[in-house]
Chains A and B, each alone.
Chain A
Amino acid sequence: DTAVSQTPKYLVTQMGNDKSIKCEQNLGHDTMYWYKQDSKKFLKIMFSYNNKELIINETVPNRFSPKSPDKAHLNLHINSLELGDSAVYFCASRSSGAFEQYFGPGTRLTVT
C-alpha cells in the first residue's frame, strides 16, 4: 500500500523518559511534517522538513527534535517527557508539486 505509516500506534510512558515515534512515507514526497493534536482536537504543526530546510514552530519545546535518516523517513524524538506532551501525533507528507498533505494514522502518546 502506498501511504504514510507511523509506529507505534500507541505509546504509554512515564514522565522523564525519552521516546521516539517513527514515520515513513512511500509516496515519493519530499516534504514531511509532524503535527500535534491535543485533547481539544486542535491540530498544530510542529515541524516541516525537506532535504534542505527544517522549519520549527516557535512554540515547540526543544525537547522535541525531528530526525530524518533519508527522504522517506522523519522520526520524532522527545526527551524528558512531560504530562502535557500527552496527545496524538501525526506525521504527514507532501509533494513539492502539490499542496495537499497526506497524513499517517497517528500515534497516541500518554505520559503518566
Chain B
Amino acid sequence: SQKIEQNSEALNIQEGKTATLTCNYTNYSPAYLQWYRQDPGRGPVFLLLIRENEKEKRKERLKVTFDTTLKQSLFHITASQPADSATYLCALNKGGSQGNLIFGKGTKLSVKP
C-alpha cells in the first residue's frame, strides 16, 4: 500500500531564509500531490496542487516540485516569516472517483524572528 514519509517532524529556521520540506512516497506515482497547512486547533488549509506531468508549481512565496523518478516532492517557502510557522502536510490521491487522499504526518515548521 502507498506510504508517505515527511522526513522531518520539525524544522526550525531563521526568518528570511528558505524553508524546504520533503515528502517521499513508496509505491505508485499519484496523479497529483497536494500540500496543506495546518495551524494548531484548526483544520488543514489547501495550499498547492501539482500534477504528475508537472515539474514545478509556484504561488507567491511558495514553490512545489514533483520528481516521479525519485518519488519525491519538495515544498519551499522563500523569505520565510514567523507567520509561516505551522504544520505542513503532504497528501497524495488514493485513486478512485472520489479523490480520496492519503496524508503524511506533517512537518512542523518554526520560523524564528
Residue B97 is within 8 A (CB to CB) of chain A in the complex: yes
> A37 CB to closest chain B CB, in angstroms?
9
Known A-B contacts A41-B105, A41-B106; the reply to A55 vs B46 at CB < 8 A is: no
Closest to A103 in B: B43
Provide the A27-51 mask, 1 if CB < 8 A to any CB of B, else 0.
0000101000000111111001110
Contact in complex: B34, A100 (CB < 8 Å)? yes
Closest to A106 in B: B43
The contact size tier of chain B is 20 to 34
The interface residues of chain A lying within 8 Å CB-to-CB of B32 are: 99
A side interface size, CB within 8 A: 25
CB < 8 Å neighbour of A99 from B44, B99, B103:
B99
CB < 8 Å neighbour of B34 from A43, A49, A90, A99:
A99
Closest to A105 in B: B43
CB-contacts of B10-36 with A (<8 A): 32, 34
> In the complex, how many residue pairs between chain A and chain B have their CB atoms under 8 Å apart?
56
Interface of chain A, helix or strand or loop or mixed? strand
Residue B101 is within 8 A (CB to CB) of chain A in the complex: yes
Contact in complex: A45, B44 (CB < 8 Å)? no
Closest to A94 in B: B99
Contact in complex: B105, A31 (CB < 8 Å)? no
Residue A80 is within 8 A (CB to CB) of chain B in the complex: no
Known A-B contacts A90-B43, A99-B32, A105-B43; the reply to A43 vs B99 at CB < 8 A is: no
Given A40-B105, A43-B103, A45-B94, 13 other A-B residues pairs in contact with their CB atoms under 8 A: A4-B43, A33-B100, A48-B99, A48-B100, A49-B98, A55-B98, A90-B44, A100-B34, A102-B46, A103-B45, A105-B41, A106-B41, A106-B43
> What residues make up the interface of B, taking CB atoms closer than 8 Å to A?
32, 34, 41-46, 49, 87, 89, 93-94, 96-103, 105-106
